C-alpha cells in the first residue's frame, strides 16, 4: 500500500483529497493500492471566507459527508511537526501522540492570523480567522445583546482595514441588530495605514469609502492599536475608546509548519511550488492553498484566497497520484484574477484584473458575492461520488458571474 497524506481540510486540502481520489479512480487497477488519508484538527470543512457573516449556520461541513463517498480516510489531529527526511508527521490525537508515515504528502495547512505582542490583545480580542473564533465572537455579541446597557456595549472596534476587517466592519450593523443591540451604536475601523483598504488598491478605495461612510463606520487611520483592556482600547494617537468588543483582523501568514521544510519561502512564509504544485527540490511533497505560492499566469504569484486555493488543491490532488504511479502531471495555469469584497448592507465591490479595476458595485456585486459564498465554493452536499469527482476535476473555472456589468 502506498499512502498519500493530505494535511488540512480547507479549500486546498479538501479538493486535493477528493482530486486525488478522483485520479485514483480514473487509473483503475494502477490505483488499487493507494491509500489517501486526510488529517485536520477539526472534523469539518470550514467555509472560512464566510466567518464574518451574520449567519454562521452553514459554515462547517462534516468531512464524513464529503470524504466517505470517495473513499478518503480522515482523522482528527493537531499536526505538530513534519519530518521531510523520514517522511513522517507528528500528530496529537485524542489517543495521544502519533506518528504517521507518508509516501507522498500534500501540505494544505493554510494560513493563520498574526498576533503581535500588544498589551491585552491576546487576552481580550476576538477574530474571525477560524470557525471556532467566529462562533466565539457570535456568542459574545449575543450575550452583549442580552446584557444591560453599559459603557462600550454598543461600540465595536475592528483593527485592520484590509479585506477581512472591512467585511467584518460592514457586516456589523446587521450583526448588532440580530444580536439585539439596537439604538445608537459605533463601529470603528482602525488601521496603521493612512488609507482604508491600502492593500486593495486605489481604484477600489472610493467605493469602499462611500460604502463604509453610508454604514456609519468611523475610521481611525494612520494610528496603531497600543493596548487593549476589558473596558476599551488605547490607540497610538492617545485616544481611548470604550468598548467591550475588539476584533483583530490585521495580517495573515502561512502555517508555521511550512518552516519544517528547508526550502525557500516568500515574505508570507509560503513555500514556493512549481506549476504542478510540487515544492521545489523536495521529491514527493506537494503544497497548495495559502501555505504555497505559485506563479499562475507566468507573472503573478497566487494571492492567499479560496479563488486560488481550490484549483491549487484540485491540481495537487491529481498530480500527487500521477507522480506516484508515473503518469504525466498537469500544470496549473490561471489567466484571470478578481476580488469580490462584501460591503454589508451597502452591497459589495467586484474588481477584475491585477490592477483591481472596479467592474460592479452595490447590489450587482452583492449578487456575485452571494453566488460565490453560498454556491460556487460549496462542494456538492448530496453524498454523490460522481458529483464530488466532477467538482474535483483538474480544470480551472471561468470567472464568477457579473450582474448588470457592461460587456467589454
Ligand atoms: C473572514 C475571511 C474572509 C475571507 N474572504 C475571502 C474572500 O472573499 N475571497 C477569497 O478568495 N478568500 C477569502 N479569504 C481567504 C480564504 O479563506 C483563504 O485564502 C482560504 O481559506 C485558504 O484555503 P486553504 O485551504 O489554504 O487554508 P484554510 O482554509 O485555512 O484551511 C487550512 C486547514 O488546515 C487546518 N489546520 C491548520 N493547521 C493545522 C494543524 N496544525 N493541525 C491540523 N490541522 C490544521 C485548519 O483547521 C483548516 O481546516 C477570507 C478569509 C477570512 C478569514
Say if residue 198 is in the same domain as residue 72. no
CA angle 163, 8, 46 (to 5 degrees): 50
Judged on CB neighbours under 10 Å (0-12, 13-18, 19+), 335 is exposed
For the full predicted model, state whether its pTM sits above 0.85: yes
Residue with cell 478605495: 205
Residue 99 lies in a domain: yes
Q: What is the distance between the alpha carbons of residues 148 and 27, in angstroms, rounded to a whole number?
A: 63
76, 194: one domain: no
CB 103 within 8 A of CB 2: yes
Which H or E run includes 83? strand 78-83
For 6, the domain range is 2-112+253-335
CA of 192 to the centre of ligand 1 (A): 24
Residue closest by Cα to atom 20 of ligand 1: 306
Write the CATH number for 209: 3.50.50.60
Buried b (16+ CB within 10 A) or exposed e, 379-398: bbeeeebeebbebbebeeee
Please state whether beta strands 34-40 and 2-7 pair in parallel, antiparallel, or not at all (unpaired): parallel
HSE on the CB side for 62, CA within 13 Å? 6
Whole-Å CA distances, 157 to 78, 147, 217, 233:
32, 19, 10, 8
DSSP string, 323-383: HHHTPPP--------EEEEE-GGG-EEEEETTTTEEEEEHHHHHHHHHHIIIIITSPP-S-
Residue ranges in the chain modelled with pLDDT below 50: 407
Which of 208, 233, 250 delimits the end of a domain? 250
Please indicate, yes or no, if residue 175 is contained in any of the structural domains.
yes
Rg (CA), the chain: 22
Neighbours of 96 (CB within 10 A): 7
Picking from 279, 307, 335, the residue at the C-terminal end of a domain is 335
Q: How far is the CA of 309 from the centre of ligand 1 (A)?
A: 9
Q: Which of 316, 335, 354 is the last residue of a domain?
A: 335
> Rounded to whole angstroms, how far apart are CA atoms 117 and 114?
10
Closest C-alpha to ligand 1, atom 5: 49
In a domain, 263, yes or no: yes
Residue 281 alpha carbon to ligand 1 centre in Å: 26
Q: What is the pLDDT of residue 79?
A: 98
Mutational pocket test of ligand 1: of 8, 271, 344, the residue with most ligand atoms within 8 Å of the beta carbon: 8
Residue with the smallest CA separation from ligand 1 atom 3 is 49
Neighbours of 298 (CB within 10 A): 8
Assigned domain for 52 exists: yes
Contact 286, 104 (CB under 8 A): yes
Residue 25 lies in a domain: yes
Q: Are residues 52 and 13 in the same domain?
A: yes
CA-CA-CA-CA torsion sign (355, 372, 349, 210): negative
Residue 96 lies in a domain: yes
Give the number of domains in the chain: 2
Using the mean position of ligand 1's atoms as its centre, give its distance from the Cα of residue 198 in Å: 22
Largest pairwise CA distance in the chain: 69
Ligand 1 pocket residue status of 37, Cβ below 6 Å: no
Query: Residue 167 and residue 25: Cα distance in Å, rounded?
Result: 40
Amino acid at each position: 500500500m502506498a499512502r498519500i497524506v493530505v494535511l488540512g481540510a480547507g479549500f486546498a486540502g479538501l479538493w486535493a483529497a477528493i482530486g486525488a481520489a478522483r485520479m485514483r479512480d480514473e487509473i483503475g487497477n494502477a490505483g488499487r493500492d493507494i491509500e489517501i488519508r486526510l488529517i485536520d484538527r477539526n472534523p469539518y470543512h470550514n467555509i472560512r471566507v464566510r466567518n464574518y457573516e451574520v449567519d454562521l449556520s452553514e459554515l462547517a461541513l462534516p468531512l464524513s459527508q464529503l470524504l466517505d463517498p470517495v473513499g478518503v480516510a480522515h482523522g482528527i489531529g493537531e499536526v505538530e511537526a513534519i519530518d521531510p527526511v523520514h517522511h513522517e508527521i507528528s500528530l496529537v490525537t485524542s489517543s495521544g501522540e502519533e506518528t504517521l508515515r507518508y509516501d507522498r504528502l500534500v501540505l494544505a495547512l493554510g494560513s493563520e492570523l498574526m498576533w503581535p505582542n500588544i498589551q491585552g490583545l491576546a487576552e481580550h480580542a476576538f477574530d474571525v480567522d477560524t470557525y471556532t473564533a467566529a462562533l466565539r465572537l457570535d456568542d459574545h455579541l449575543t450575550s452583549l445583546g442580552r446584557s444591560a446597557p453599559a459603557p462600550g456595549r454598543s461600540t465595536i472596534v475592528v483593527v485592520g482595514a484590509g479585506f477581512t476587517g472591512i467585511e467584518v466592519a460592514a457586516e456589523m450593523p446587521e450583526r448588532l441588530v440580530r444580536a439585539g443591540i439596537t439604538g445608537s451604536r459605533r463601529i470603528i475601523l482602525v488601521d496603521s495605514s493612512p488609507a482604508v483598504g491600502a492593500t486593495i488598491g486605489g481604484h477600489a478605495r472610493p467605493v469602499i469609502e462611500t460604502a463604509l461612510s453610508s454604514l456609519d463606520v468611523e475610521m481611525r487611520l494612520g494610528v496603531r492599536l497600543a493596548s487593549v483592556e476589558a473596558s476599551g482600547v488605547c490607540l497610538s494617537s492617545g485616544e481611548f475608546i470604550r468598548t467591550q468588543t475588539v476584533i483583530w483582523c490585521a495580517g495573515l501568514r502561512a502555517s508555521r509548519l511550512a518552516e519544517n521544510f528547508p526550502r525557500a519561502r516568500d515574505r508570507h512564509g509560503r513555500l514556493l511550488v512549481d506549476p504542478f504544485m510540487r515544492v521545489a527540490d523536495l521529491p514527493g511533497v506537494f503544497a497548495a492553498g495559502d501555505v504555497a505560492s505559485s506563479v499562475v499566469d507566468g507573472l503573478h504569484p497566487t494571492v492567499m484566497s479560496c479563488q486560488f486555493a481550490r484549483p491549487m488543491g484540485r491540481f495537487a490532488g491529481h498530480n500527487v497520484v500521477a507522480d506516484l504511479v508515473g503518469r504525466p502531471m498537469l500544470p496549473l495555469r490561471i489567466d484571470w484574477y478578481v476580488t469580490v469584497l462584501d460591503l454589508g448592507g451597502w452591497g459589495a465591490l467586484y474588481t477584475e484584473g491585477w490592477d483591481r479595476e472596479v467592474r460592479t458595485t452595490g447590489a450587482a456585486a452583492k449578487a456575485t458575492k452571494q453566488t460565490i459564498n453560498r454556491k460556487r465554493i460549496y462542494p456538492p452536499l448530496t453524498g454523490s461520488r460522481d458529483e464530488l469527482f466532477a467538482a474535483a476535476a483538474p480544470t480551472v473555472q471561468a470567472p464568477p458571474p457579473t450582474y448588470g456589468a457592461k460587456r467589454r
